[in-house]
Structure 1
C-alpha cells in the first residue's frame, strides 16, 4: 500500500506538468488561430512577439493587441470490460489570453512586450468515477511575460529575441485508497506556485513581395515549485503517516518548440502560410518530488514519463474581401508525444486534428477586430497506463474554442 500511494502521488503531480505540454495552449493570436495558428513565416503584426520576433522589426506603426479565447472541452472515459463503466469530465470554462504591445525606437529597431498563456488546463473528473485514485481534478496555469527587441538588418532580413519570465501554479486533488470508519476515502491536495525563465528568438527573411520564410525557437522553461503545500485528509488512525504542514519542491519542464514557416502571396488579397513545428517533449524523462517530511514512509518520490519529441503540421490562409473585411481558415495535425503505457487521466493525449475559421474587420484606420473559432478532435485511444500509474481504459477528447481580439494602431 505504501508504494502504491507514493506512486499515485508522484505520478499525479508529474502529470500536471505533462498536461501543460500535452495540452499546450496554441492560442497566441486571434488572427493566427483563424489561419490554423500559422505565423512563423509571415508578418503577423504585434503577435510576432510570439510567432517570430524577427518579423516584429517590419512593423511600421506602433500597436497594441488584446485578445482572449474560451475553451469548452470534454473528455470521455470507458473502463475495460467486463465493467465498461463510463465517465465524463465536467471541466470549467478556460480563458487563455494574449496581450502584445510594440513600439518603434527607430525605423529598424522595435521594442515589444508580450503577456500570454502558452500552457494551462483544467480537468474535473469528480470523486465518484472509477479513476478517482488517479485524479479528481486539476488546474494548471502558466503565464509568460516576454520583453522583446527586433532589428531589421536589411530590407529582406529581420532578427529578434525576447526574454521569457514565466509564472504559474498547479492545484491537484485526488482520492487516497484508504478509508475511515464511515467508509469515506482519504483525499490529497497538492498546491504550489511556480516560476521559470527562457527565451524566444527568430529570424525572418522576405526575398520578394510574394514569398517569405521564418525560423523561430522558443526554449524550454523549467518551472520550479518551491515550498508547495501537500495537504492530506485521512482517517485519524493513519494521520501520522500523512503529516500536516508537509511541503514539496519540484521542477516541471515546459518543452521547447522549433518552428519553420513559409508564407506565399499569390495575389495582393490572398496570403497562404505553412508551419512545421518540432516540440521537445523528450524533456519529460522523469521528475522528482522532494517532501519536507516523510509521506507514508518516504521523503521523496520519482516517476518516469519518457515522452517522445513530436511534430505539428499547420496550414492556413487569409483572403481580403475588401480593405475592411478578411476571411480566414486553417487546419493542423498534432501528433501525440505520449507512448503506449503512459496515458493518464490528466493527459489522455492522442493525435489531434484542429480545424479553424476566422474573420477580421477594420472599424477604422486605427482599430480592428478579429474573431476566431477552433475545433479540436483527439483520436479515441485505449491504453493501460501501466508505465505511469495511469487508469486503464479508453479515452476520447474534443474542444470548442471561440475567441475575439482588438488591435489598436498609433
Structure 2
C-alpha cells in the first residue's frame, strides 16, 4: 500500500495552497525571488520590495512595474489506518497565484508604490466518496492583498517603508453530514471576507558587499459576515437544516517577522539568507456561528491550536552575462500543525523547497523572469482526532513553474 500511495504522488501534479507552505500560506510573491528560494528581506528586490521589505523600496532607482504568475496543479495522497488501509487522492483545481507591483520615485528620497498579491490560499478537493467526507469534501480559501506603500531613504545607507494592507477574499467549504442509518446529507458554506493590516520594513546597506533587512507583516483577520449556507438533506430531517440560514466566521492570516542578509562577494554574485517566524499561534480554532440552529446547534467549532513556526531560506543569483542571470535557492519550512490536529483541509508537515530560475534582459526597459519551485513535504501519520480531523497518513509534493515581466519607465 505504501509503495502505491508514494508512486501516485511522485507521478502526480502540483499542490495548490496547502502544499506551498505551512498551513495555508502561499510563498510565491515574485518570480525572481522564487528562483532564489523566496529570499528577499535583506536585498533590494526591485519592485517586489513592496512585499519583501518596503524599506528596500527606497533604494529602487527607476520607476517600473512587475507582473507575474505561477501555475499550481496539485494532489495530496491519503491512506487510512490499518486494517482498512483505504487510499484516496485529492483532485484539486488549477491554482494561479499572481503578483503585481508598481513603484514611482516621487523625489530623490521618497518612493511610492502599489502591490497586489496573493500570500494566502488553499484549494483542496477530496470528493464525496472518500472515508473522510464527514470532515471535508472541498475547501477553497482565497485572499488578495492590496497594498499602497511609501518608502523613505533616511540616509544614503538606510531606508524605511510601510504599506497599508486591505485584504479581500472568501471561503467555500463543503462536507458531507452523517444522518440516521445509512443516510447522508451535504452542507456548503460560502462567503466573502475582508481584513486590514500593515507591511513595514527597515533596510540598511553599510557597504557595497553586505546589506541587512528586517520586515514585519501583521496578522490580518479575515471576517465573513452573513455568509450563505446551502443544505442538501432528506425530507425526513430537512427541518433540522433551515433554509436561508447565514453564518459568520473569522480566519486569521498570521503575522510574519523576517530578518535577512545580503552578501555580494563580487559584482556578479549575490547571496541572500532569510529567517522568518510566522505567527501561526493566532489560529486557535475554526468556528462557524449560524443565524439559526443547524442540526440542533447554533455553531460548530473545532480546535486548531497551531504553533508559531520558522522558515529558513538561502538563495543566490549569478550574472552570467550582461543579459542573463542564473538563480537557485532552497528553504526548510517547519509545520505549525501539532500532532493530533492534522486535518484534510491542511494536512501539513515539515517541507523542503528547492528552486531555480533565470532572468533575461530583453531591452533597456523590458526584462523577463522564469522560476521553478519543487516542494516535498514529509509523509505524516496522525492517528488521534483532537480537532475533527481524519486519522491516517498524508503525503504531499508540489511543482510550481512561473513567469514574470518587468518594465521600467
Normalised to the residue count of structure 2, the TM-score between the two structures is: 0.94
Question: C-alpha separation between the residues in 2 aligned to 1:289 and 1:141?
Answer: 17
Any residues of structure 2 matched to 1:9-408 within 5 Å, and which?
A: 22-178=23-179, 185-408=184-407
Question: C-alpha separation between the residues in 1 aligned to 2:396 and 2:285?
Answer: 25
The Cα shift of 1:73 comes to 1.8
Question: C-alpha separation between the residues in 2 aligned to 1:360 and 1:18?
Answer: 26
Question: C-alpha separation between the residues in 1 aligned to 2:57 and 2:104?
Answer: 10
- The count of aligned residue pairs is 393
Question: C-alpha separation between the residues in 2 aligned to 1:112 and 1:220?
Answer: 21
Give ranges in structure 2 of 5+ residues lacking alignment: 1-16
Q: For 1:215-266, what per-residue CA distance to the aligned partner results, in whole angstroms no more than 9, with x for missing partners?
A: 0000000000000112110011111111111101111111000000000000
Q: For 1:319-366, what per-residue CA distance to the aligned partner results, in whole angstroms no more than 9, with x for missing partners?
A: 000110000000000000000100001110000000000000000010
The Cα shift of 1:151 comes to 0.1
> Secondary structure of 1:239's partner?
helix
The Cα shift of 1:287 comes to 4.1
Change (3 A) 1:287 1:85: closer
Runs of 4+ aligned residues of structure 1 deviating over 4 Å after TM superposition are 16-21
Question: C-alpha separation between the residues in 1 aligned to 2:335 and 2:129?
Answer: 29
> Secondary structure of 1:50's partner?
helix
Q: For 1:183-226, what per-residue CA distance to the aligned partner results, in whole angstroms no more than 9, with x for missing partners?
A: 65211101010000000000000000000000000000000000
Change (3 A) 1:20 1:289: farther
The Cα shift of 1:385 comes to 4.5
Change (3 A) 1:70 1:19: closer
**Are 2:18 and 2:348, in contact at CA under 8 Å, matched by a contact in 1?**
no
Q: For 1:91-142, what per-residue CA distance to the aligned partner results, in whole angstroms no more than 9, with x for missing partners?
A: 1111000000000100110000000000011111111111111111111110
**Are 1:67 and 1:403, in contact at CA under 8 Å, matched by a contact in 2?**
yes
Question: C-alpha separation between the residues in 1 aligned to 2:369 and 2:20?
Answer: 28
**Are 2:22 and 2:334, in contact at CA under 8 Å, matched by a contact in 1?**
no
Judge which range, 336-345 or 169-178, deviates more: 169-178
Q: For 1:356-394, what per-residue CA distance to the aligned partner results, in whole angstroms no more than 9, with x for missing partners?
A: 000000000100000000001000000025110100000
Judge which range, 383-392 or 48-57, deviates more: 383-392
Question: C-alpha separation between the residues in 2 aligned to 1:312 and 1:39?
Answer: 13
**Are 2:22 and 2:333, in contact at CA under 8 Å, matched by a contact in 1?**
no
The Cα shift of 1:286 comes to 2.5
Question: C-alpha separation between the residues in 2 aligned to 1:67 and 1:18?
Answer: 20
Question: C-alpha separation between the residues in 1 aligned to 2:197 and 2:25?
Answer: 16
Question: C-alpha separation between the residues in 2 aligned to 1:17 and 1:74?
Answer: 10
Question: C-alpha separation between the residues in 2 aligned to 1:366 and 1:179?
Answer: 67
> Secondary structure of 1:389's partner?
coil
Give ranges in structure 1 of 5+ residues lacking alignment: 1-15
Question: C-alpha separation between the residues in 2 aligned to 1:17 and 1:26?
Answer: 11
The Cα shift of 1:88 comes to 0.5
The Cα shift of 1:301 comes to 2.7
Question: C-alpha separation between the residues in 1 aligned to 2:18 and 2:265?
Answer: 42
Question: C-alpha separation between the residues in 1 aligned to 2:294 and 2:132?
Answer: 22
Question: C-alpha separation between the residues in 2 aligned to 1:19 and 1:370?
Answer: 20
Question: C-alpha separation between the residues in 1 aligned to 2:35 and 2:402?
Answer: 9
**Are 1:66 and 1:100, in contact at CA under 8 Å, matched by a contact in 2?**
yes
Change (3 A) 1:205 1:170: same
Question: C-alpha separation between the residues in 1 aligned to 2:222 and 2:248?
Answer: 11
Backbone CA RMSD of aligned residues: 1.6
Normalised to the residue count of structure 1, the TM-score between the two structures is: 0.94
The Cα shift of 1:20 comes to 9.0
Aligned equivalent of 2:5: none
**Are 1:258 and 1:278, in contact at CA under 8 Å, matched by a contact in 2?**
yes
> Secondary structure of 1:22's partner?
coil
Q: For 1:46-67, what per-residue CA distance to the aligned partner results, in whole angstroms no more than 9, with x for missing partners?
A: 0000000000001110000010
Q: For 1:23-44, what per-residue CA distance to the aligned partner results, in whole angstroms no more than 9, with x for missing partners?
A: 3110000000000000000000
> Secondary structure of 2:207's partner?
coil
> Secondary structure of 1:55's partner?
helix
The Cα shift of 1:297 comes to 1.3
Judge which range, 385-394 or 342-351, deviates more: 385-394
